[in-house]
Structure 1
């Protein structure tokens, strides 16, 4: 018999039971349903409960379709995906920045690429730079000031001790976020003082004022948060508002208003940083299009925000408190996952002129394509009660078709393509709905299998972006060498028995990869015979012939977009991110590329791969 709580839960989109990616059906705990109802503003004790939101979807009607450029009707293209911070150059300040992005655009546009894919550029926690995951932002509406190229700021003049410090932190193989932030903020504060007194009197000041007007009160609120965050860390608190004294945890308190009044100059400084970042990002997109890239920047949009960041401090009612976004138990994680991101309130997403729709439009204005991380969030999110294991979570449904309409409208308004990252536990019919809305699927080679064989290239969908690997997966070199398996065993993410089984499976996948490359004549018989002789030798390194053939294989698919990972192109060994670890275990989001941008084009691997991919996908 269905309980009253279950009936209320069903009315509000809370799943009574769900099926995980492993095919196992699980019941949602009673306490979880109760907590989630209360978090949604539903009082289970009231007869009938709180009036629910009504239908979470619009009536059936012909939906809008996301933007697709006309030239893609008869063409396919390719591009490069990279992590901006990983770029190494002789001029940056220890982290890849917007000037390095310009250099990368020039390099890859000349090579025939039509886009540059980037990690999320969202604002993180400037006062606590070690919180460096681009997928755990403080506020998705604003940008990370650490990507500002300081020498490109009007009025910049070099200072000897800064240049020495730049050289020191530039040499490391890992981004020193603390060192970079200290160095850049110090230099930018010096520039701000000069800009405010001298340069700001010029035409640029009008641009800055227009930027403030265009971004409204949310820009000032974010800048106020950044200023307070910096002050709170100086007082020994954390950068996030939940660790602050109570009188500062709400932006409407007398204490916060008093702080804003007495620190108006510092608040203006943080608004200025956002203006600089936006200006430099705009220059990059314009340069990409000027140099012939038909898409330009391919941006990434994180699925959520940190519970203690600027976004939740500014507009707490737009989020569900007491829960985090995560993933249910499956083959890869028996206990499930808690991603530490706060879920949005379904009610707050309904307004076509509200925060979410506005956020999409502003993000899309910076590029020609946008990747939605965990695109299934348009339909449902797995929510985990704070302080409880992920296995105690359940799904909450969202107004799917309404959100698709908002997404399509923003896409059309900004002439920006949309790619939906649809990996993991994908609901039935989801990919078909997204295809009808002209949202490109996200197809990763190692996941595209039929039994033990890889899916042939012609079976890939046309409306998709295809790639060999992503930031959460091993590089092609590491995949081939089973390095990712050894790394997971080293950090106790799998045991010896699991490692042995996964290694055996990987060697079989090597054979499958070689077989499909030979079948499509992507590797010459002599090279194929040489590789075959050592195919089951774990120590046999990835030959360049196999690396190039693998990229040709993915380029041969009918998928409209193909992305080449920079870390694969340069033969990186270590992963960008090792899921399931924290900074004390693995340096996630810190590894720099092993090759300087200026040296990249001169490499034989670069020239050979670019030539091969251009043959498959000529501009």
Structure 2
């Protein structure tokens, strides 16, 4: 090992060790140190941004006063999965308003949503909400087109919408083509009849407030389909070199020639903003004490709008991933771009400040995916394998300050997804900062079994499952184990171990529910039990999380409706339709489902009716 290189790496926040699958720290190589130093452009890295102060003075995030005396619950879902008789084959902001009304009728206080970040509109099948093109912008596919002034239907369109609604998977390509055609038609009609969207004072104010960030995103969205039409990809890394820089002469010339289309894409952002703002206002009027709970992805696509628009804010020579662990022995490369530690919190209009504000402006709560990124990220140099990566320190103090100040400005509480390998002391720092911990039932286990309900921390959100998990019924049947085996994510011998372990886990869960007094079924249901046979167990498990001291509890809509097809199977790509399955039940029938009513009743029994303030 090179001692000079070690000192240089440490002085720039690079960890000299990483975990192994056996949970033993192993040294990173000199080659890795040199690669990470190079991608950080170490000579330009301000030292104050990577040195974490050993201070007890941690700024505190906003926490509403009523949580001092009340514990509340809400429903989490994927917005795109909602079915309705009026949507266009994908859940939209008008469906969200209807879901808010359903949530209010069930006595819940928030609606939790997948990230609503902007995708690649020119490549709609790149649909993962956790690999967006730009986290500061919204997804135009969620616009309820029929609620846009000037919309006109036709028999041909009505027939196409029926086809899109009938599919069991979201047809992102068909939805995007149909919505964009209709929205362009509205835009062009308003232009032609002198009622241009340009004349809207609120639209002009939105453009002014969005500034260069909004303009460049709209420019990217104009260039992207143009490039696809000419044989390139939707992402900028495949474009001719002269178009890969947003400030090149060729890009300026293109922008001048396509000013109307650029303005159209800014209009789409304004429509999405207006409809999401309306949904947030409806939640407030309906009495939801938290309102909307929005998810914030950990990074952006390496070739998307964000990295093209602000290249100096991102690390260009490495991607975000995770080191080797027992479930991914070679480590993982998430192929996400990371904000540069020197830029992320720099300046009065820092990228992190803009990013969290873009979500908080609509929300009563935000969830930060992979909250460990407040202190460190595992960076994998391009063209390297994940086991050649290293942890890089981030300016935790500055990021917590931004979170605290922004949460106070927007009256928005903060939840941190603190799962997996966490740096020592991070959870303590987050608790001091009043960032809620994220507690999933299946993860809350010790050697003796599941942790008791009263052991959950008060400043936390408790839930049974998330978008990366099977429903509780699926977990009970071992559907997650079967899926990992089917898609060859784990070898057969490991799957056999997981099957044996699940048998013990089922018994442990039954014991924990018995101990908590949640009235589970008297006998342990078999792993092949039907939905009806598992109903009492599912309600009992929700009663368990309702009993926890956690100030928030989230009930997943997929658990309430008994979905068989998972939202996402981590480790798969083209061999499973991740982020596409729709609910099997239409929106207007949700509140009447027996399991929905029973779970809602259990949550209210343990957490109190909404009228009790």
TM-score normalised to structure 2 length? 0.96
SS, match of residue 601 in structure 1 = helix
Q: 1:514 — aligned with what?
A: 510
SS of the residue aligned with 2:47? coil
In structure 2, the residue corresponding to 1:543 is in which secondary structure?
helix
Q: Quick one: distance in 1 between partners of 2:354 and 2:549? A: 33
- Distance in 2 of aligned mates of 1:585 and 1:358: 36
Query: What residue in structure 2 maps to residue 187 of structure 1?
Result: 182
Q: Which runs of 5+ in 1 are unaligned?
A: 44-49
Q: Could you say what secondary structure the match of 1:348 adopts? A: coil
Contact 2:218 2:266 in 1 (8 A): yes
Distance change in 2, residues 1:188/1:553 (3 Å): same
1:46 alignment partner in structure 2 = none
Which residue is 1:336 aligned to?
331
1:79/1:114 contact within 8 Å kept: yes
2:113 to 107, 115, 118: 118
Per the alignment, residue 549 of structure 2 pairs with 558
Q: 1:21 to 1:499 in 2, by over 3 A?
A: closer
Q: Distance in 2 between matches of 1:187 and 1:311?
A: 26
> Which of 139, 144, 150 is matched with 1:144 structurally?
139
Q: Deviations over 1:457-514 (max 9, x none)?
A: 0000000000000111111111011111111111111233222221111121111111
Structure 1 residues 353 and 507, CA gap change in structure 2 (3 angstroms): same
SS of residue in 2 equivalent to 1:370: strand
Aligned pair 1:607/2:602, yes or no?
A: no
Once the two structures are superposed, the pairs formed by residues 350-365 of structure 1 within 5 Å of their partners are 350-351=345-346, 352-365=348-361
Moved more, 299-308 or 540-549: 540-549
1:341-399 CA-to-partner distances (Å, cap 9, x unmatched) read: 01111110232431211221222111110000000000000001112211111100011
| Contact 1:85-1:175 within 8 A present in 2 as well | yes
Distance 1:550 1:33 in 2: 47
Moved over 6 A (4+): none
Pair 1:574 & 2:546 matched: no
**1:478 partnered with 2:468:** no
* 1:299 alignment partner, one of 286, 294, 297: 294
Q: Which residue of 1 aligns with 2:539?
A: 548
Does structure 1 residue 217 correspond to structure 2 residue 207?
Answer: no
1:147-180: CA deviation from partner (whole Å, max 9, x where unpaired): 0000010111112211111110111110010000
Q: Paired residue for 2:38?
A: 38
Aligned ranges for residues 444-455 of structure 1 at < 5 Å? 444-455=440-451
State the shift of 1:63 in Å. Answer: 2.8
157 and 199 in structure 1: CA distance in 2 versus 1, 3 angstrom threshold: farther
- The match for 1:157 is 152
Instruction: Give, in angstroms, the shift of residue 91 of structure 1.
Output: 1.0
Distance in 2 separating the partners of 1:335 and 1:202:
52
- Partner residue in 2 for 1:4: 4
CA displacement, residues 427-476 of structure 1 (integer Å, 9 cap, x when unaligned): 11100000000000000000001114100000000000000001111111
| 1:140 positional shift | 0.3
Distance in 1 of aligned mates of 2:47 and 2:402: 18
1:390-432 Cα shifts (integer Å, max 9, x gaps): 1111100011111111111111111100000000101111000
Q: Could you list the per-position Cα deviations for residues 258-316 of structure 1 after superposition, in whole angstroms to 9, with x for gaps in the alignment?
A: 11001000000000000000000000000001001001000000001111111111110
- Give the secondary-structure state (helix, strand or coil) at the position aligned to 1:346: coil
What SS does the corresponding residue of 2:42 show, helix, strand or coil? coil
Given the alignment of the two structures, is residue 105 of structure 1 paired with residue 95 of structure 2, yes or no? Answer: no
Q: Report if aligned partners of 2:187, 2:196 keep a CA contact under 8 Å in 1.
A: no
Q: Does 1:91 align with 2:86?
A: yes
Counterpart residue number, 1:47: none
Contact 2:352 2:399 in 1 (8 A): no
RMSD: 1.6
* Shift, 1:249, TM fit: 0.5
Give matches, 1:273-288, under 5 Å: 273-288=268-283
Residue deviations 1:204-237 (CA, integer Å, cap 9, x gap)? 7111001001111111111000000011111111
Alpha-carbon offset, residue 538 of structure 1: 4.0
Question: Contact between 2:46 and 2:342, CA under 8 Å: does it hold in 1?
Answer: no
Aligned residue number for residue 386 of structure 2: 390
Tell me whether 173-182 or 495-504 shows the greater mean CA deviation: 495-504
> Residue 432 of structure 1 is aligned with which of 413, 428, 431?
428
Identify which of 579, 589, 596 aligns with 2:579.
Answer: 589
Distance, in Å, in 1 between the alignment partners of 2:203 and 2:155 is 29
CA distance in 1: counterparts of 2:148 and 2:307, whole angstroms? 31
- For residues 219-238 of structure 1, the aligned pairs below 5 Å read 219-238=214-233
Q: 178, 193, 196: which is aligned to 2:191?
A: 196
Other-structure match for 1:313:
308
**Corresponding position of 2:24:** 24
Query: 1:539–1:498: structure 2 CA closer, same or farther, 3 Å change rule?
Result: farther
Matching residue of 2:47: 53
Q: CA deviation at 1:23?
A: 2.2
1:57 positional shift: 4.1
**Residues 55-92 of structure 1 deviation map (CA, whole Å, 9 limit, x = unaligned):** 52465362321000011110000000000001111111
Greater Cα offset, 199-208 or 237-246 = 199-208
Match of 2:372 among 376, 401, 410: 376
* Conserved? CA contact 2:116–2:129, under 8 Å: yes
Query: What is the alpha-carbon distance in structure 1 between the residues aligned to residue 198 and residue 260 of structure 2?
Result: 20
Contact 1:136/1:341, CA 8 A, preserved across alignment:
yes
Deviation at 1:198, TM superposition (A): 4.2
Closer, same or farther in 2 for the Cα pair 1:490/1:51, shift >3 Å? closer
C-alpha contact (below 8 Å) 1:57/1:401 kept by paired residues:
no
